[in-house]
Amino acid sequence: MSSQGFKQLRVAVVGGGIGGLSAGLALRRAGHLVEIFERRGFDVEVGASISCAANGSVHLEDWGVDVSEMSPVNLMKLTMRDWDTGEVQGVYDLSGYEKEWGRVYFMLHRQDMHKVLLKTAISEEGAGTPCKIVNDSICESVDLEAGIVKFTNGKFVQADLIIGADGIRSVVREQIGVVPDIKSSPQTCYRCNVLTKDIKELGLVSHSYEPAIQFWGGNEGRNGRSKYYKIVMAPCSSGEVVSFYCFMPTEMTNHREEGFAFKECPVSDILKGRYSELDPNCLALLKSSRERMPWRLYVHQPYTHWVNKQTCLLGDAAHPMMPHQSQGACQAIEDAGALGIIFSSKYPEFTRDVEAGLRLYQAIRKPRATMVQAASARATDNVAERIGFTSIDIKDEMLRPTDGSLTVKQMNEYNMHHHVAAEVSKLRKSQESLHEMAHL
């Protein structure tokens, strides 16, 4: 590694979702020139509710992102309910979360979050040169040796650092030589929303728009009901929207392509199978839903590597995971945070040796993201493995987490700055020892 001073990098981010915009912001704040290439415009539907726990918002805070502009709901509890009756099985209290971790647990609408990240990334205000956004740019290939990204429209860009933030169907992932080990998940999902004004007008249950994430099912049920029936409900958009993730066994859907489908489906696609046995209050909400779209799930085993020369992966392109820990966005934000710290003026050697910086990025991020991947897979089979529920006493003995389950403390006590500093210190000492030996 060179010990020369800080070098401003040209950064190409492939993908303009939450992970890509976070990476752009982190590296802009670190003093680099960033272009973000998105395959489409930003006028399409980009999802429903999304969690942002303290381990994610700490980085947003570092980048000067005003989360209050994202119309957040400050979550106060996680509630587990019985599928058939709606009876409360367990509650994880979040009322002391801000006092303990310094930040609240935010629930956001994906569109609101994306809009504010985009605004902040391109704003003339704040540290660093505003990110440049290039829409209608579909990645075709990456020349790893030359550092060139080519797009299907015939255009290309050369960069010192290339970040593949292009999601679960990543082209950049293929270009750096990753061969995914993928299999169909036993569980798939439909997303839908209910407007709070409709809930009030129809006289439906008021607990639906409380500042809480609520869960139904997620365990072996009565009369052999599959554990893959599960509902996750949460308010977002300042409480004006109640968002649902409705899970069921994969054989209950005809959708095959992995990821979100931007095509609305009838409510009958959701309310089939054992949904007829669902808590009547929840069922009434789903019957009044809108924006119902399928989300086909596949299980990815951890990838062999995330980096190749000056190119790396981030977010879903690097570590696709089941959604059951509500950590997908936070882990992408953590990835971006690591890149912004490693390639900062505090560690100028990595701006002069990008490959070394990316090796450090992988060494720091891959074990932690893999840990969350594994925990998300466990929670597919048992809702009690959900972060938060792993720390409480649950009525139903069948809903008990295993030893070694992921906890809120593990996620929120982690300090990325300290981790990077410790690893860089080791590297610098190693370099010093090699230098001394060379002069003996």
- Residue at 230 is within a domain: yes
What are the structure tokens assigned to 69, written together? 């502009």
Q: Where a domain ends, among 275, 299, 323?
A: 299
C-alpha to C-alpha distance for 229 and 215, rounded to whole angstroms: 11
In the predicted model, what is the mean pLDDT of residues 70-83? 96
Tell me: do 251 and 241 sit in the same domain: yes
Q: Is 201 exposed, middle or buried (0-12, 13-18, 19+ CB in 10 A)?
A: exposed
Tell me: do 313 and 168 sit in the same domain: yes
By DSSP bridging, strand 139-143 and strand 148-151 are: antiparallel
Using an 8 Å Cβ cutoff, are 156 and 148 in contact?
Answer: yes
Please report the pLDDT score of residue 260 as a whole number: 66
Enter the DSSP assignment of 83. Answer: T
Tell me: do 55 and 116 sit in the same domain: yes
Q: Where are the beta strands (DSSP E) in 21-75?
A: 33-37, 49-52, 73-74
Q: Where are the beta strands (DSSP E) in 138-229?
A: 139-143, 148-151, 156-158, 161-164, 182-184, 187-195, 212-217
Tell me: do 143 and 20 sit in the same domain: yes
The CATH number covering residue 258 comes to 3.30.9.30
Please report the pLDDT score of residue 440 as a whole number: 57
Nearest residue to 392 (alpha-carbon basis) of 90, 162, 137: 90
- pLDDT of residue 395 exceeding 60, the answer is no
C-alpha to C-alpha distance for 163 and 8, rounded to whole angstroms: 16
- Residue at 418 is within a domain: yes
- pLDDT of residue 213 exceeding 90, the answer is yes
- pLDDT of residue 88 exceeding 60, the answer is yes
Tell me: do 286 and 206 sit in the same domain: yes
Q: What is the mean pLDDT of the chain?
A: 92
Nearest residue to 259 (alpha-carbon basis) of 209, 356, 189, 155: 189
What DSSP assignment string belongs to 123-139? -SSSSSPPPEEE-S--E
The CATH number covering residue 361 comes to 3.50.50.60
Domain that holds residue 226: 183-299
Q: Which residue type, as a one-letter code, is found at position 230?
A: K
In the predicted model, what is the mean pLDDT of residues 82-103? 94
Nearest residue to 67 (alpha-carbon basis) of 406, 329, 315, 322: 329
- Residue at 97 is within a domain: no
Tell me: do 273 and 346 sit in the same domain: no
Neighbours of 105 (CB within 10 A): 27
The string of pLDDT tens digits covering residues 320-365 is 999 999 999 999 999 999 999 999 999 999 999 999 999 999 999 9
With bands split at pLDDT 50, 70 and 90, how would you rate the model's confidence at 278? Answer: very high
Nearest residue to 248 (alpha-carbon basis) of 199, 295, 286: 295
- Residue at 311 is within a domain: yes
Please report the pLDDT score of residue 262 as a whole number: 66
Q: What is the domain count for the chain?
A: 2
Tell me: do 218 and 240 sit in the same domain: yes
The string of pLDDT tens digits covering residues 134-188 is 999 999 999 999 999 999 999 999 999 999 999 999 999 999 999 999 999 999 9
- Residue at 78 is within a domain: no
What is the model's pTM? 0.94
Tell me: do 268 and 199 sit in the same domain: yes
The string of pLDDT tens digits covering residues 359-393 is 999 999 999 999 999 999 999 998 889 988 887 65
Q: Where a domain ends, among 279, 299, 319?
A: 299
Tell me: do 369 and 258 sit in the same domain: no
- pLDDT of residue 46 exceeding 60, the answer is no
C-alpha to C-alpha distance for 118 and 17, rounded to whole angstroms: 9
397 versus 186: the higher-pLDDT residue is 186
- pLDDT of residue 436 exceeding 90, the answer is no
Helices and strands (H, E) in the chain, number of each type: 12, 22
Q: Where a domain ends, among 299, 327, 347?
A: 299
Tell me: do 317 and 379 sit in the same domain: yes
- Residue at 439 is within a domain: no
What DSSP assignment string belongs to 275-324? GGGS-HHHHHHHHT-EEEEEEE-EEEPPPS-SEETTEEE-GGGT----GG
Residues facing residue 7 across a β-bridge: none
- Residue at 423 is within a domain: yes
Tell me: do 177 and 242 sit in the same domain: no
* Residue 150, phi-psi category: left (phi > 0), alpha (psi -120 to 50), beta (remainder): beta
Tell me: do 322 and 268 sit in the same domain: no
- Residue at 88 is within a domain: no
C-alpha to C-alpha distance for 25 and 341, rounded to whole angstroms: 12
